[in-house]
């Protein structure tokens, strides 16, 4: 059963591709009162190169400001970069105009460094409502959510993260991970190999979702129009 890729204002949009595909999504941001640093980005990219996997990183504008070389390196190694807002606010509390500004300001920073304008958006804290979704879609962005959370940011070990995933993996799942955690970088190779050993391929978000010529059924599933 395919899992949630991104959400519309009143329903979850899924994908009907019957392929054994998993997406690993990294969320990266810089907290003003707690530095979510870039110390493990080199290790993460090294593991992704070694395992021949390309993934999607969602970055916050504040983090882009502080670590432009890390952003550049992520892009140079062939990974996809989406926006995760500019300042990581609680977007459900913002107006339409404020939400649009958060998306566009972050995207401009990413494009300035990478030369590529993002078209994917993951809202902070996983929040969404009609206004949040409209701000993304009206601005030309696809809002993305996750279906499986490793909870790596809580300090779980790699084995504990795998226990959260094992037996739950389905076609089209999006796995949420974070940089700047205690065990993620050192556990990533094991997690990728375990996922592959279950018969799944790991791809970027844009490799899976339909971006045109699709419709949404009553269950919220994204279906390619024949």
Res. 222: pLDDT tops 80 = no
For the stretch 121-142, pLDDT in tens is 999 998 989 899 899 999 999 8
User: How much is the pTM?
Assistant: 0.87
How many domains does the chain contain in total? 1
As a whole number, mean pLDDT of residues 56-77 equals 96
Domain that holds residue 83: 4-224
139 burial via Cβ count (<10 Å: 0-12, 13-18, 19+): middle
- Average confidence (pLDDT) over 109-117: 97
* pLDDT surpassing 90 at residue 6: no
Please indicate whether residue 24 or residue 84 has the higher confidence score (pLDDT). 84
CATH of the domain at 30: 3.20.20.370
pLDDT of residue 217: 62
Supply angle C-alpha 75, 159, 193, rounded to 5: 50
**What are the beta bridge partners of residue 26?**
57, 177
């Amino acid at each position: 059963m395919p899992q949630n890729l991104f959400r519309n204002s009143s329903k979850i949009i899924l994908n009907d591709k019957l392929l054994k595909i998993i997406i690993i999504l990294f969320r990266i941001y810089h907290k003003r009162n707690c530095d979510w640093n870039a110390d493990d980005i080199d290790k993460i990219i090294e593991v992704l190169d070694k395992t021949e996997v390309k993934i999607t990183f969602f970055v916050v504008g504040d983090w882009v400001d502080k670590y432009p070389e890390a952003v550049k390196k992520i892009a140079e190694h062939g990974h996809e970069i989406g926006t995760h807002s500019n300042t990581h606010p609680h977007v459900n509390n913002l107006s339409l105009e404020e939400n649009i500004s958060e998306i566009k300001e972050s995207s401009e920073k990413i494009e300035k460094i990478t030369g590529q304008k993002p078209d994917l958006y993951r809202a902070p804290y996983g929040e969404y409502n009609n206004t949040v979704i409209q701000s993304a879609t009206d601005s030309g962005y696809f809002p993305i959510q996750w279906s499986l959370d490793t909870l790596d940011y809580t300090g779980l070990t790699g084995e504990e993260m795998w226990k959260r995933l094992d037996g739950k993996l389905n076609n089209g799942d999006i796995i949420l991970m974070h940089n700047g955690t205690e065990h993620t970088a050192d556990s990533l190779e094991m997690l990728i190999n375990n996922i592959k050993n279950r018969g799944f391929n790991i791809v970027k978000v844009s490799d899976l979702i339909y971006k045109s010529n699709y419709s949404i059924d009553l269950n919220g599933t994204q279906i390619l129009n024949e």
